[in-house]
Structures are given as C-alpha cells and as structure tokens.
Structure 1
Amino acid sequence: MKSLFKQKEFSIIAIIIVLSIILSFVSPVFLTIGNFIDIIEANTVMGILAIGMTLIIITSDIDVSVAAVTTAVAVIIGSLFGYLPDSWLSLVIIFIAAPIIGLVIGSVNGFLVSKINIPAIVVTLGILNIINGLVLYFTNGRYLNSTNFPESFLAFSDFELFGIPILIYILAIVAILTWYILKHTFIGRSVLAIGGNQQSAVRVGIDYKKVKLFVFAYMGFLCGVAAVAQTAYTTAVDPNGLLGLELMVIAAVVLGGTNIHGGRGTVHGTLLGVLLLAIMENGMILARIDTFWQKVVTGAIIVFAVSYDHISYKRKQAKLAKIEVEV
C-alpha cells in the first residue's frame, strides 16, 4: 500500500480529483459526463502524440517536431481529399496513407539520430522549421475547409458508438497498442533497457541504433494517426492550428511520471498527465480566465514538472553514490 502512495501516478490522480472538486464549484457544468467526454475528445491529438513521445523520452531523447509533422500530414491528406472518390474507399486510403507518410518522416528523424548520431533536439528542431516553412509555402497560411472533404469522412468525424465519439476509441486503440509494445515485445523492453542504462543494454546484445530508429519511426506513425484525428475533429486543416502543441505534449509526458532522463515511463501515466492538463485548460476556460494567463500557467507547469523530475533524479544519483562509497 505504501508503494502505491509513493507512485507518481497516484499523486496525479489525487490532484485531478481535488482539481475537479474545485472546478465543480466554479462551474456546475464541469462535473458532467458530457463535459468530460468533450475534454477527452478535444485532447485526443495531444494524447496520441504524448503516447508516442513517452517512448522517445524513455530512451532519454526528445522530439520537438511532432506538431509540425502532424500538421504536414494533415495538409497532405486534406489536399488528397480533392482527388479521392466520395466513398468509404477514400476513408480507407486516408487511414493507410496518413500513418505511412508520418512513418516516413519519423524514420528520417530516426535515421539522422541513430545512424548519423546527430542530437535529437537538433534534428527535430531542424525538421520542425523545414516542415513549417514548406507548409506555409504550399498553403499560403490558408485553411482547407470541409467543402473539399468527402461525405464519408464527415460521417466518420460525427460517428459515435454508445454515445462516445470515434476519436476516443482511436486514442484507446493507440494506448493499448503502445502498452502492449512496451510490456510484451522485445523492442518495447529494449526501449526501457536503453533508457535505463544504455551501456549495459548494448553489452547484452540490444541494438541501440535499431531501438532509436524504431521510437522515432513509431512517433511519426502516430503523428499520421493524430493528423487524421485532428482533421476529423476540426473538419478543417489549419496550417497554424498546432503551433506550440509539442510543449504541451512534453509537459503531459513528464507530468505523467516519465523520467526526463530516460528509463522510466508508462502509457497510463502519460494519459493521466494529458487528462490533468486538459482539465486545467477546460477549467480556466469555464472560469473565463484570459488566454494569455492560460499560457503562463502552462509554461509554469512545464518548468515545475521538469525541475521536479530533475531534482528527483539528482537525489537518486546522490543516494547511489553514497551507497557505493559506503560499500
């Protein structure tokens, strides 16, 4: 029981409960099933990207290009709609094409990081700027609205099963798939091993480069899935709609208990981190707090989460050093 209370996930649940109670007094609408469904649906894209980012941060790397890649894939599939037939076949094509396009871009990131040994922050920051520039060049900053979308895709966007929007099911599928990869596959265990102790993992035969390539390629794959979800949610493509989302994604992952130095992280923890940020954002909107203050609060959360994680890491390292000296 004591170990349960010490887990970071438990503290996040406690914060979510307390915050929900407070916000229920701010607005009676907050503690309703409909509002919570809306919160989850609105943050499906962040949830999908945060799940992919979890694997990358576990390996002690980072990817700041996720929002740009998602936007690029959304622009591509939005443009494809004009050439596809108005049938369910177009929906199948989009669901195949979008993840593949994202996978290719993610593989480029992974190749540069794993094979050329360029730091991930440098690679993904460069890719972010390249993609943002190309997107603005091809779109001139203009929206692609639903007038070009097939009716089948619009029907998919509005589809609900048992009162729950289809996008939430997509998030659940991504979460279960990633959990399974981490817990029950060799590549998943290799991700945790590389993050925990890279030298030891390499010595036991784990291919460090393949693991790095996998996590960035998988991140790209999920960017493609997120692009479909974003397009379905907004029924439009906004070239600037996801600017800055990568910071929220990283914050959600760190808040969810993933060690910024690598080696530890869970899918359910990340989902809790996403939910916490989503509830805070929704609460500030219901409380009619100005947008710029929302950004201030988000920035403060990021600084606090990363600082807390770093301090905890240094304390653990100090304890290990003390034990080694005593031995």
Structure 2
Amino acid sequence: MNAILKSKEISIAMIVLLLCITLTFLSPYFLTVDNLLDVLKGNAVLGILAVGMTLVIITGGIDVSVAAVTSAVCVIVGKVMMLMPDHPISILLLFLIGPFLGVCLGALNGLLVAKVQIPAIVVTLGMMSIINGLVLYITNGQYLNSSSFPTVFIKFASFEMFGISIIILIFIAVALLTWYILKYTLIGREVLAIGGNKDSAIRVGINFDKVQIFVFSYMGFLAGIAAIAQTAYTKAVDPNGMLGLELMVIAAVVLGGANIMGGRGTILGTVLGVLLLGIVQNGLILAKIDTFWQKVFTGLIILLAVSYDHIQYKRSKDKLAKIEVEA
C-alpha cells in the first residue's frame, strides 16, 4: 500500500486533482462534462503520440520527428481521401494506409539508429527537416478542407459512442493496446528490460537492435493513427498545423514520470502527463490569460515538474549507493 501511495503516478494524479479543484474555483465552466470531454478530445492526438514516445524514451532513445511524420501522413491521407469512393470501406483503407506509411518512416529511423548507429536525436532531427521540407514543397503550404473529403469520413469524424467522440475512443484504445504490449508480450518485456539495465539485457540474449527498430516502428505506427485522428478532429489538413508538437509530446511523457535518459516510464503516467498539460492549457484559456503568458506558464510547469522529478530520482540513486557502500 505504501509503495502505491509513493508511486509517481499517484503523485501526478494528485497534482491533476488539485489543479482541477483550483480551476473549478477560477471558472464555473471548467468542471463540466462537455469541457472535460473537449480537453480529452483536443489532446487525443498528443496522447497517441506520447504513448508511442514512452516506449522510445524507456529504451533511452528520442524521436523529434513524430510531428513531421504525422503531418506527412495527414497530407497523404488527405490526398488519398480525395480519390476514394464515398463508401465505409474507405475508412478501413485509411486505417491500413496511414499506419503503414507511419511504420515505414519509423522503421527507417530505427534502422539508421540501430544498424548505422547514428544517435537517435541526429537521425530524427534530420528526418524532421527532410519531411517538413517535402510536405511544404508538395502542398505549397495550402490547406485541404472537408469539402474535398468523402461524406463517410465526415460522419466517422463526428461519430460518438455514449457521448464520447471517436477520437477519444481511439486514444483510449491506443493506450490500452500499448499497455498490454508492455506488460504481456515478449517484445514489451524486452523494452522494459533494456530500460531497466541495457547491459544486463544484452548479456541475457536480448537483441538491442531489434528492440530499437521495434520502438521506432511502433512510434511511426501510432503517428499514422494520430494522423487520422488529427484529420478527423480538424476535418482538414494543415501542413503547418503540427509544427512544434514534438516538444509537447516529449514534455507529456517526462511529466508522466519517464526519465528522459531512459530506464523509466509507464503508459498510465504518460496519460496523466497528457491530462496535466491539457488541463493547464484549458484552465488558462478559461481564466482568459493571454496566449503568450499561457506558453510561459506551461513551460514553467514543465520545467518545475521535470526538475523536481530529476532531483527525487537523483536522491533515490544516492541513497541506494550509500546503502551499497555501507553494506
């Protein structure tokens, strides 16, 4: 029981709860079902990408190309939809095409990191620049709006189950699937083993290159899913709409308790980190804080939360080292 109460997830959940109570006093509109569902819907794409980023960060990697990959898939999906028949099978095809494209781009990142042994930050920065440049060249910075999309996709984007948007349901499904992979599959256990102790994991026979390729490919897979969710949310394709989102994705994962250097992270923590960011931004909007102050305040929260987490983690390591020396 004490271990549960001291867990990182409980700490984040308590912060989220206190923040909700505070914002309820600041704005009577905050603690309403519609507003809370809007917060979830507005941050579902961020959440999908953050869930994938969790696996990358656990293994000690980083992927700053996620927003660029998602934008690229959005553009391709938008172009493909313009050619598709107005039939339900078009939605199924989108969920095959989008993730497939994402996996291809993610696997390319993984191969360069694992086989060519280029640092992940270098590979994904280069990929981000290449993809953003190609997307702007192909689209000339122009939007694709809903008038170009099949009616069946617009209906899909507006679909709700028990009042919950399909976009939120996709986010929940992705989080549950990834949690299951980490907890109950061999590759998931290998990801956690490498996160726990890379050298020991390699010594017991875990293929580090295979795991790296998997986590980057899975990140690409979820970027493909996120592209469909983003297109459904905006009912349009904006080539510049996701610039800078990769920083928020990484921030959500780190706020959720993951160690940016690798070795630590959970799906529940990441989901709570996404909620924390979403609630902060929503609360600042309801409080009618100017946009530039919203960014400053959000940045401060991220900096303070990550600093506190790093200090606590360092203290626990120092305490463990002291115990080992005394023993």
- State the SS of the aligned residue for 2:82: helix
Structure 1 consecutive aligned stretches of length 4 or more whose deviation exceeds 6 Å:
none
Letter in 1 for 2:225: V
Secondary structure of the structure 2 residue equivalent to 1:138 = helix
What is residue 248 of structure 1 aligned with on the other side? 248
Q: Aligned with 2:52: secondary structure? A: helix
Quote the offset at 1:174 in angstroms.
0.5
Equivalent residues in 2 for 1:63-74 (5 A)? Answer: 63-74=63-74
Write the distance in 2 (CA, Å) between the matches of 1:252 and 1:316: 23
Hey, what does 1:324 align to over in structure 2?
Answer: 324
* Corresponding residue number in structure 2 for 1:84: 84
Q: Which residue does 2:57 correspond to in 1?
A: 57
- The CA deviation at 1:266 is 1.1
Contact 1:260 1:309 in 2 (8 A): no
Equivalent residue for 1:151? Answer: 151
Counterpart Cα distance in 1 of 2:128 and 2:296: 23
Letter in 2 for 1:139: T
With normalisation by structure 1, the TM-score equals 0.97
- The AA in structure 2 aligned to 1:189 is R
8 A Cα contact 1:256 1:269, kept in partner: yes
Classify the secondary structure of the residue corresponding to 1:83.
Answer: coil
Give 1:298's aligned amino acid.
Answer: T
Report the alpha carbon displacement of residue 108 of structure 1 after superposing the two structures with TM: 0.5
The residue type paired with residue 123 of structure 1 is V
Q: Distance in 1 between matches of 2:309 and 2:262?
A: 11
Moved more, 27-36 or 258-267: 258-267
Question: What is the total number of aligned residue pairs between the two structures?
Answer: 327
CA distance in 2, matches of 1:194, 1:215: 12
How big is the shift at 1:49? 0.3
Contact 1:260 1:306 in 2 (8 A): no
CA distance in 2, matches of 1:24, 1:242: 30
Write out per-residue CA displacement over residues 136-160 of structure 1, whole angstroms, 9 at most, x where no aligned residue.
1111111110111000100000001
What residue in structure 1 maps to residue 280 of structure 2? 280
Q: How far off its partner does 1:310 sit?
A: 2.9
Per the TM alignment, residue 52 of structure 1 is displaced from its structure 2 partner at its CA by 0.3
Q: Deviations over 1:263-283 (max 9, x none)?
A: 221111110110011000000
User: What is the letter of the counterpart of residue 224 of structure 2?
Assistant: G
Counterpart residue identity of residue 210, structure 1: K
1:323 partner letter: I
* Corresponding residue of 1:113: 113
- C-alpha displacement of 1:98: 0.2
Shift of 1:6: 1.2
Q: Is the 1:54–1:258 contact (alpha carbons within 8 Å) kept by the matching residues of 2?
A: yes
Per-residue deviation, residues 282-319 of structure 1 (Å, max 9, x unmatched): 00011111111111122223322333333333323323
Separation (CA, whole Å) in 2 of partners of 1:275 and 1:209: 33
Letter in 1 for 2:89: L
Q: Which amino acid aligns with 1:66?
A: V
Pairwise CA distance, 1:90: 1.4
The structural deviation recorded for 1:198 is: 0.6
CA drift of 1:246 comes to: 0.9
Q: Does 1:222 align with 2:222?
A: yes
Q: Is 2:107 aligned against 1:123?
A: no
* Distance (whole Å) between structure 2 residues aligned to residue 128 and residue 216 of structure 1: 14
CA shift for structure 1 position 68: 0.8
User: How far apart, in 1, do the equivalents of 2:121 and 2:304 lie?
Assistant: 21
For the pair 1:6 / 2:6, whether they are aligned, the reply is yes
> Separation in 2 of the partners of 1:170 and 1:18?
27
- Secondary structure class of the residue paired with 1:265: coil
Partner of 2:139: 139
Instruction: Give aligned-pair identity as a percent.
Output: 64
Deviations 1:221-277 (A, max 9, x none): 000000000000000001111111111111111111112222221111110110011
**Offset, 1:27:** 1.4
Q: Which amino acid aligns with 2:198?
A: Q
User: Which position in structure 2 is the counterpart of 1:199?
Assistant: 199
Alpha-carbon separation, structure 1, partners of 2:212 and 2:316: 26
What are the Cα deviations for residues 7-62 of structure 1, in whole angstroms up to 9, with x where unaligned?
A: 11111111111111111122111111111111101111001000000101111111
TM-score, scaled to structure 2: 0.97
Q: Is the 8 A contact 1:75 1:239 kept in 2?
A: yes
The two structures, once aligned, show a CA RMSD in angstroms of 1.2
> Residues of 2 paired with 1:96 and 1:195: CA distance?
30
- CA displacement, residues 138-188 of structure 1 (integer Å, 9 cap, x when unaligned): 111111101110001000000011111111111111111100100001110
| SS of equivalent residue, structure 2 residue 258 | coil
Structure 1: gaps (5+ residues)? none
1:20 is matched with which residue? 20
Secondary structure, aligned partner of 1:19: helix
The amino acid of 1:130's aligned partner reads I
Q: Which residue of 2 aligns with 1:263?
A: 263
The letter for the 1-side match of 2:222 is L
